[in-house]
Chains A and B, each alone.
With several copies, the nearest count.
Chain A
Amino acid sequence: MSEELPFDPPLPPRAAPEEQLHLDLEGWEGPLDLLLDLARRQKVDLRQISILALVDQYLAYIGQAEALKLELAADYLVMAAWLAYLKSALLLPKAEQEDPSPEELALRLQLRLARLGAMREAAARLLARDRVGRDVFVRGRPEGLRLDRRSVWQCDWYALVSAYGQVKARTAPVVHMVRTRPVMTLDSALDRVSAMLGVRIDWTELREFLPPHAEPRLRRSALASSFVAALELARRGQAELRQDAAFGPLHLRCVAA
């Protein structure tokens, strides 16, 4: 290999001279890109390109850039090692080949290069099209189309009036109405118990004073008011109360005058 590179540096170095060697690789988007560039430089139909020649070129190029920045060059060095392996495998007798075969590896590499090359061409052709803002121009000062959304509010009479009803109902002072229900008032219980007690001098259970055929709700009310009536009569000294056991039946009798 001559001391000259067999090709021009693909891109002029963009960095300061002292970094020139380091930054040579920055012209490429990775080792595959560099390989593709080298392949193109063989200036033959890519179909006839020699992978071995390509490997040599790549290794020579990497060898030139001795003072590679490692963090930048790692990918390139990995590729170099792999290519060196590929080259030796390709040169070995077939019998000693491993799986996958070096031929398969080489073919896959070429397929990858072809795909990257295709996209590179496509990108170039895409960028060469008539682009808006470069080759063709849209209107400089369009008036613009304005679409004003106007809300048309909907509400009907019923919704309005019932909303008012709801407000009034919601905020009216809370008045609890007890619906008509069968009750015996204290006054009537007092009259009733006092009248029934008038003649009894034996102890009589409170239950005896309740209306005999009252429906349950009235009966309960009568029990409560009759109990209070009994207490009232006892307070007035007109009756005596007796209960033999806690929660036992309550008895009363009249106090002899």
Chain B
Amino acid sequence: MTGPDPILRSVEATLFAAEQPMSVEQLSAHLGGAEVRPALAALEAHYRERGIRLVERGRRWQFQTAPDLAHLLRREREQLRRLSRAATEVLAIIAYHEPVSRAEIEAIRGVQTAGGTLDVLMEAGWVRVAGRREVPGRPVIYATTPEFLSHFGLASRRELPGLDELRAAGLLDSVDEAYRTLAEDPADGADPVITASDSAPLEKPAQSA
């Protein structure tokens, strides 16, 4: 093949390297007064079916990506991430108590809640701002979204297990209690020492005789 026409190559390279779209006049001046219109027309036709196009916008020429490939310029990569323990707790509190303010969440959790935690839940699409509570300070209150229900396979919030069910499932066992179970059972022979903290409400005593 004989290489393309020199003016065509020059126009091609110039527009490629240009930081701004260029008019016919600018191009021509840049290329020493050459007649650039035939080259532009030939280039425009050459690139019509390719991944890039030569287009005229407001009397200025530029290369750009073919419109049907625009999606290639902006790719989304999905990254699966597990919700943190803190965020899961906050989500659960909102689900059980909604609508609920941040102060109320903190009162229930017993610890401060980082602002980022609520942001994550809102980014996940599970929590939304549900207005403000009409009390002094008018705090923002939060509630769950329909996406929350669908993600967790719930028809409604009423399907969340109640406290009794949680207790029955052992989910309300506190750490203390679990510890005592461990600590007491093996100590079968040891005499229980009655201490002030230990003795409070006596259960029905086992009487001998």
Contacts and interface: CB of A to CB of B under 8 A. Distances in A.
**Direct interface between A and B, CB < 8 A:** yes
Interface of A: 29-33, 45-52, 54, 75, 90-91, 103-104, 106-108, 110-127, 129-157, 159-172, 174, 176-185, 188, 192, 211, 214, 216-218, 220, 222, 224
A9 to B, nearest CB: 16
A143 B172 contact: no
Interface stretch (B38-46, B130-138, B145-153): B145-153
- Give the 9 A-B residue pairs with the shortest CB-CB distance, closest first: A32-B110, A165-B171, A51-B199, A118-B206, A30-B111, A123-B92, A103-B194, A164-B92, A107-B200
A140 B73 CA distance: 11
B75 interface: yes
Contact residue range for chain B?
A: 35 or more
Contact of A148 (B74, B109, B126, B201): B74
**B interface, over-half SS:** mixed
B1 interface: no
Contact of A136 (B67, B154, B208): B67
A188 B209 CA distance: 10
A206 to B, nearest CB: 17
A183 B109 contact: no
B103 interface: no
A109 B13 CA distance: 49
B206 A122 contact: yes
A144 B17 contact: yes
Nearest to A45: B205
Contacts, number: 357
Given A49-B199, A106-B194, A107-B194, A117 B205 contact: yes
Contacts of B35: none
Nearest to A55: B199
A33 B111 CA distance: 9
B77 interface: yes
Given A131-B152, A131-B153, A218-B208, A153 B109 contact: no
B154 A129 contact: yes
17 contacts: A50-B199, A54-B199, A113-B202, A114-B206, A118-B206, A122-B95, A122-B160, A132-B64, A138-B64, A141-B19, A144-B18, A145-B75, A146-B73, A164-B166, A172-B172, A214-B208, A218-B208
A91 B65 contact: no
A175 to B, nearest CB: 9
B203 A178 contact: yes
Interface string B41-83: 0000000000001000000001111110010111111111111
A214 B120 CA distance: 61
Which interface residue of B73, B176, B189 has the most chain A CB atoms within 10 A? B73
Contacts of B76: 147-150
Contacts of B176: 174
A152 B206 contact: no
Contact of B199 (A106, A115, A135, A163): A106
Given A133-B80, A140-B19, A155-B82, A47 B171 contact: no
Contacts of B65: 136-137, 143
B174 A169 contact: yes
B205 A46 contact: yes
